[in-house]
Amino acid sequence: MLGRPFGVPNDAAFQERVLLAALKLLAAPSGPVLVDYPEDAPRSDAAAQGVACPVSFALAATDDIGSAFVREVEELQPWHDRAMERRGRSMVGLSKLSVVDAAKVIARLLRDNVVDSIDGLSPGETIKLVCEDLRTYYYEAAAARPGTPDADAVQHWFWHDTAGGRAFLALHKQCVASADVSMKRLCNFSLVPRAVLLEMNKA
């Protein structure tokens, strides 16, 4: 899986074996050196069993997507709090906004097509930081439930089963149609994973 060059979270022994295999290449008498690492990364129990992410929310039919997103972010807070307690940290914090305020930024953009810039950044750069924080918040919250789901399950849950995923996809459409270069760049590369877009297009 891309994103895990040393393999498995919290598996110090596996990480060290990968690290040592790389460092031992320094002793090669000539180079460049290209060597396959023979050992597959262990899969989590959840991945082996195909466990789905257990967090789910019913969306009110009357909600507009931005309002549903903000409400969902608020309702996820207890799970994110649990994640913070377990890990002692969170990787939310790029935009310096609270997650509820970050969701409101996206809701406003979807409703009024307006972006309030952070630190003088372009609209696309501002929305990128806001979206990174929100996605991190969702993923961290999802990891807090018993029977921790694997990365694929969390990604599937976010993009298929949450108002957050729906809001990001709506935002993607809005960015495609935007005349702003920074927003176009955002939608081309930095908002929705290509695998998700391909899957959505097939469906």
Q: Which residues contact another protein by CB under 8 A? A: 1-10, 12, 15-16, 19-20, 22-24, 26-27, 29-32, 36-37, 87-91, 93-94, 121, 124-125, 128-129, 132, 135-136, 139-140, 143, 151, 154-155, 182, 185, 189-195, 198
The H-assigned helical ranges of the chain are 12-24, 45-49, 65-75, 77-87, 99-112, 123-142, 151-161, 163-177, 181-189, 194-202
Pick 47 or 59: Cβ nearer another protein:
47
Of 190, 177, 80, 189, give the one whose Cα is nearest residue 138. Answer: 80
CB of 96 to another protein, least distance (A): 9
Torsion of the alpha carbons at 40, 46, 52 and 54, rounded to the nearest 10: -140
DSSP 52: P
CB of 194 to another protein, least distance (A): 6
Pick 12 or 114: Cβ nearer another protein:
12
Pick 109 or 153: Cβ nearer another protein:
153
Pick 13 or 61: Cβ nearer another protein:
13
CB of 90 to another protein, least distance (A): 8
Rounded Cα–Cα distance for residues 102 and 92 (Å): 11
Phi-psi region of 7 (alpha: psi -120 to 50; beta: other; left: phi over 0): left
Pick 73 or 192: Cβ nearer another protein:
192
CB of 60 to another protein, least distance (A): 28
Rounded Cα–Cα distance for residues 153 and 180 (Å): 34
CB 69 within 8 A of CB 103: yes
CB of 181 to another protein, least distance (A): 10
